[in-house]
Amino acid sequence: MHRAPTAAVRCYRAYAYQSFRLQAKSELYRLLAMGLGEDWDQEIALAAFQAERAAMTAKQATRFFQREAYHALRRIGFHRIRRGGRQVYVLDEQLGERPPADQPD
């Protein structure tokens, strides 16, 4: 059964902001401290524009925004790891030296 989009789905910018904020959690403050707040806002605006152009449903938009937030954090230099039974993001510098992926240990 196909449902007509509601007003909540049409407000993609606010929906994207909420999804990005939930994906980044405490790293949002670190991004602001690094001076990347404006870049983060641009990522949100771009994702909202893409979702609006594709006329995504609420479920599709949620998945899309979470993927885009993950990829935006990866481009900045964050990696998602499991720590203490939950997933957190850490910067490359915090991971230490790791061997390249194409070479064995």
**What are 9-58's pLDDT values in tens digits?**
458 888 888 888 888 877 788 888 888 888 888 888 889 989 988 888 88
pLDDT surpasses 60 at 81 = yes
Q: Answer for the pair 15, 61: CB distance below 8 angstroms, yes or no.
A: yes
pTM, whole model, 2 decimals? Answer: 0.70
Number of domains in the chain: 1
Closest CA to 61 of 5, 100, 105: 5
Residue 19 in any domain: the answer is yes
Residue 94 in any domain: the answer is no
Which residue range(s) make up the domain with 19? 7-77
Residue 40 in any domain: the answer is yes
